[in-house]
Amino acid sequence: MKTFPILLALATLLATSVSQETSTPTPSGWFSCPESDGYFPHPFDCTKYFVCVRNNAWLLTCPPAPSSVLWYNPEKQVCDYPEAVTCTATPTGKTF
């Protein structure tokens, strides 16, 4: 039953989007998933992250916080306050 893991991954993607009030996921044409399924930080922007489902990457953006922006925390796999995150993104000046 190969469809169950796929449905579970899609349900997780939708639940994450709703629970964190992130932007609508958009497919990424340039990001290569390091693993078939999972959550991965954006390499150039601490406020963004990718959800990979069957090697298809979906770009999401953390919602704004009342007094700051939130960054993606790869250890907790949630959007978090910058002081709680070690971000390794290297800004390029390009918008993706």
At the top level of CATH, the class of 3-84 is mainly beta
Q: State the pLDDT confidence band at 92, using cuts at 50, 70 and 90.
A: confident
Report the chain's terminal Cα–Cα distance, integer Å: 36
CA dihedral 72, 56, 95, 40 (to 10 degrees): 20
Average pLDDT for the chain: 81
Q: 19-65: per-residue pLDDT in tens?
A: 455 567 888 889 999 999 999 999 999 999 999 999 999 999 999 98
| pLDDT at 26 (0 to 100) | 81
Q: How far apart are CA 60 and CA 72, in angstroms?
A: 10
Amino acid at 40: F
Q: Where are the domains of the chain?
A: 3-84
Q: How far apart are CA 53 and CA 79, in angstroms?
A: 19
